Amino acid sequence: MNRFLPFWPIAASQHAQRVDDLIISFSLLIFCLTAPVFVLIILFAIRYRRGQPADRTHRPSGNVLAETSWTVIPFLLTLGFFAYAAFLYLDLGRAPADSLVIDVVAKQWMWKFEHPGGQREIDDLHVPVGQDVKLTMTSQDVIHSFFVPALRIKQDVLPGRYTSLWFNANRPGVYDLRCSQFCGMDHSLMVGKVFVLSQADYAAWLRQAGASGDLAAQGKDLFRDLGCSGCHDPGSTVHAPSLEGLYGRLVPLDGGRAVVADDQYIRDSILDPNRDIAAGYPAVMPTFAGRVSEEDLVRLMAYVKSRGPATPAAPAPEPRP
């Protein structure tokens, strides 16, 4: 935690410790590269001060060897740091397959969390220690950003799109969660707490937080209430794609393209069904934009996933540019 400095923030994950090691070692490198500049400026200002007797003969006005070395050497020295930092960064986008997935919906000015067991919380997030936790995040209005300083992680949360982040907290404790993308009037009040609990405490919390059925079950009810089952259930009279085993599969589209049925595809299919038509089906589905909230989408998604293959064929891909 506080390492050598009194003002160092707590590091609550291995990733956080690695980021700290990276910044400290990089700081040492740039100190070595810059200290000579500051020392020499002061030294020259004293020694070659006007009126001061000093040897001013053979004044150089250029030196290609010096120029080349102070151009190339520092750059090469930074490349190792570049590569390690990029490795840590790419890792943030690759959540382990067996992560506990928690859905996050941000809105002006609060955080809503949906646990797979159906538990819901606002501004507080309870997670177990030592467990890979993946957050699938979206916003209901403007861009927000999910920032937990103790974990050294941050990811913007966008409307109309899913972004994700994962972490594995290794110290039980209560850590600050802050919105770090300016999101309007009460931006600075869009804060919360991340409670990292021991396995036993977490189990107790899950029980105490209660839920009327897990997310997928809630999604199934919604699926029926919204009338989706009228077309998408096997045996329905309307010819609509079955959702059995859909999630993570490659779906052929009208016009010859094909897409992986990921979160983004399913979301778009609900809100803007005529954008990507599954090959061989008529474009008859009405849009549900305005009828389902982001939280409803989370539930419907959980239901679709529950009918998909047990392990997705493809990991959650990069958000599309």
Partner 1 sequence: MTVAAPLLTPEERVSYLAAGSTLRSWLLTTDHKRIAILYLVSITGFFFIGGMAAAMIRLDLLSPTHHFLTNEGYNRTFTLHGVVMVWFFLIPSIPATFGNFLIPLMIGAKDLAFPRLNLLSWYIYVIGGGVTIYVLIAGGVDTGWTFYTPLSTMFANGHVVAAAAAVFIVGFSSILTGLNFIVTVHKLRAPGMTWGRLPIFVWSHYATSLILVLATPVLAVTLVLMSAERLFHLGIFDPALGGDPLLFQHMFWFYSHPAVYIMILPAMGVVSELVAASAHKRLFGYWFVASASLAIAAVGFLVWGHHMFVSGQSRYASVIFSFLSLLVAVPSAVKVYNWTATLYKGDISLDPPFLFAMAFIGLFTIGGLTGLMLALLAVDVHVHDTYFVIAHFHYIMVGGAVTGFFGAMHFWWPKITGRLYSLVWGRIAAGLIFAGFNFTFFPQFILGYLGMPRRYHVYPPEFQVWHVLSSAGASILAVGYILPFVYLVHSLRHGRPAGPNPWGAAGLEWTTASPPPKKNFLETPVVTQEAYAYPVLEGRRG
Q: How many residues bind partner 1 (CB under 8 A)?
A: 83
- Cβ pair 32, 25 in contact under 8 A: no
Span interacting with partner 1, options 118-126, 128-136, 142-150, 220-228, rule CB under 8 A: 142-150
Residue with tokens 């594995």: 168
For the bound state, the minimum distance from the C-beta of residue 283 to partner 1, rounded and expressed in Å, comes to 17
Of 155-174, binders to partner 1 (CB under 8 A) are 155-156, 158-161, 163
CA dist., res. 26 & res. 94, Å (int): 25
Can residue 120 be called a binding residue for partner 1 (CB under 8 A)? no
For residues 61 and 212, which CB has a smaller minimum distance to partner 1 in the complex? 61
Q: Which residues pair with 128 in a beta bridge?
A: 197
Contacting partner 1 (CB under 8 A), which of 107, 112, 115, 152?
152
Site string for partner 1, 284-313 (x = CB under 8 A): ------------------------------
Q: Using CB under 8 A, which residues numbered 247 to 276 contact partner 1?
A: none
- Per CB under 8 A, contacts with partner 1 among 90-119 are 90, 92-93, 108
On whether the CB atoms of residues 235 and 244 are closer than 8 A, the answer is: no
Least Cβ distance, residue 250 to partner 1 (angstroms): 21
Taking the complex as a whole, how short is the minimal distance between the CB of residue 117 and partner 1, in angstroms? Answer: 28
Q: Which two three-digit tokens encode residue 127?
A: 């997670």
Interacting positions 34-93 with partner 1 (CB under 8 A): 34, 37-38, 40-41, 44-45, 48-50, 54-63, 66-67, 70-71, 74-75, 78-79, 81-82, 84-86, 88-90, 92-93
Smallest CA-to-CA distance from 137 within 247, 13, 243, 267 is with 267
Pair 274, 281: CB distance under 8 Å: no
Directed axis angle between helix 64-92 and helix 14-47, to 10°?
160
Bridge-based pairing of strands 124-128 and 191-197 is: parallel
Q: How far is the CB of 260 from partner 1 (least distance, A)?
A: 16
Determine, following the binding rule CB under 8 A, whether residue 28 of this chain makes contact with partner 1. Answer: no
CB 220 within 8 A of CB 301: no
Pairing status of strand 191-197 against strand 153-157: unpaired
Q: Measured from the CB of residue 88, what is the shortest distance to partner 1 in angstroms? A: 4
**Spatial separation of the C-alpha atoms in residues 274 and 289, rounded to whole Å:** 12
With respect to partner 1, which residue has the nearer C-beta, 77 or 240?
77
d(Cα 251, Cα 238) in Å, to the nearest integer? 19
Site for partner 1 in 173-202 (CB under 8 A): 176, 178-189
- Residue 287 and residue 269: Cα distance in Å, rounded? 8
CB-count burial class (<10 Å; 0-12, 13-18, 19+) for 143: middle
Q: How far is the CB of 307 from partner 1 (least distance, A)?
A: 27
Whole-angstrom distance, CA of residue 167 vs CA of residue 125: 13
Q: Which of residues 193-252 bind partner 1 (CB under 8 A)?
A: none
Closest approach, Cβ 229 to partner 1, in A, equals 27
7 scored as a contact of partner 1 (CB under 8 A): yes
Selected range binding partner 1 among 19-27, 126-134, 207-215, 226-234, rule: CB under 8 A: 19-27
